[in-house]
Amino acid sequence: MELIPIVENDKLVLKGFVERKWAEKNRLCHLTTLLIPVRREDGKVAIQTRPEKKSFAGFRDFFGGHVTFNQDFLPLLLGQEFNLESIILSAAIREANEELRIVKEDGYPEIVTKELLTMIRKIGYFSWDGKENVERSTLFLVKIPHSSLIRPMDDIDGKFEPVKTEFLTFEDVFERYQKKQWQFADGAERILKQCAEDKGLLKEIRDIIAAIPMEGRKKFRAVLWDYGEDSPGGGGLDSTLSYEQLPKTKWFDRYEDALEAGKKRNAECGYGFHVRIETEEVGE
């Protein structure tokens, strides 16, 4: 029996634990993870075709799974506080290792750790309120190291079978969604639907994915401007500051770390700057 945590729909307050199928049948809101594998070589993403005898058979989908009851919840049973973000991250790491089965060039397993994951937006941001299922999902990009492969498998009638997978650019996947060229399962559907409705989210995912192949060759930092990338004008608040005077973060090895630091710096400034990421070759 697989127990999963049940939460209040939008506040994500833990209400208890129930058996997974019973939760889905009774439309109880629960937590899941969504995973988009990204190749470091070229920034292309992996998308699967759902196997026969599985829900949404033949539909395209990303990867992911349920947050389940495990040792991460033990502090709760002892009356202690627990960190929901840490539990979600732990679930994402487990699902990435179990579902993607990444292997190195020499055939040995590549163990996914938190350093290979990037969370997009906040916990539970990608919601699904279906007729038979209610979920609050958290999206992670999973970086596939250079020269490593993914070999996803799925349990079909008690036997693990290979899952058909292909690599495309995220733009190609999104275009197929917009043009209705493919049918998508609910996991990929909720991501792509949110991107269609929120161009800022679409740009954020695109930019982070585009920066992944540059990691190791470039470093990143955030610069706070008073206008958007497509707007004319000088730099700084009311165009009164020179570039040298603009608020900036330190240099980071990863795009997403620079972006997060820029957002935090922007909140501290309180002026509503536009966060833009600039790069520099490593060693300069």
Q: How far apart are CA 64 and CA 141, in angstroms?
A: 11
**CATH value at residue 55:** 3.90.79.10
The number of distinct structural domains making up the chain is 2
Residue 54: in which H helix or E strand, if any? none
Among 168, 196, 212, the domain-final residue is: 212
pLDDT at 70: 82
Integer angstrom CA distances of residue 262 from 225, 269, 282 = 11, 10, 20
Among 177, 212, 247, the domain-final residue is: 212
Each residue's pLDDT tens digit in the chain (284 positions)?
Answer: 789 998 987 888 888 899 988 998 899 999 999 999 999 999 999 999 999 888 899 999 999 999 998 877 777 777 777 788 889 999 999 999 999 999 998 999 999 999 999 999 999 999 999 887 899 999 999 999 999 999 998 888 888 889 999 999 999 999 999 999 999 999 999 999 999 999 999 999 999 999 999 998 999 999 988 765 554 444 444 556 678 888 899 999 999 999 999 999 988 887 777 889 999 998 75
State whether 239 and 265 are in the same domain: yes
State whether 126 and 244 are in the same domain: no
Long-range contacts (CB closer than 8 Å, 24 or more residues apart) made by 123-126 = 123/12, 123/84, 123/85, 123/88, 124/7, 124/10, 124/12, 124/31, 125/194, 126/34, 126/190, 126/191, 126/194
State whether 208 and 220 are in the same domain: no
State whether 91 and 161 are in the same domain: yes
pLDDT at 278: 93
**Distance from the first to the final alpha carbon of the chain:** 56
Sole residue written with tokens 């990444």: 102
pLDDT at 284: 59
State whether 202 and 266 are in the same domain: no
State whether 90 and 44 are in the same domain: yes
Q: How far apart are CA 29 and CA 277, in angstroms?
A: 37
State whether 34 and 169 are in the same domain: yes
State whether 140 and 49 are in the same domain: yes
pLDDT at 116: 96
Q: How far apart are CA 183 and CA 227, in angstroms?
A: 38
State whether 159 and 258 are in the same domain: no
For residue 243, the enclosing domain spans 216-281
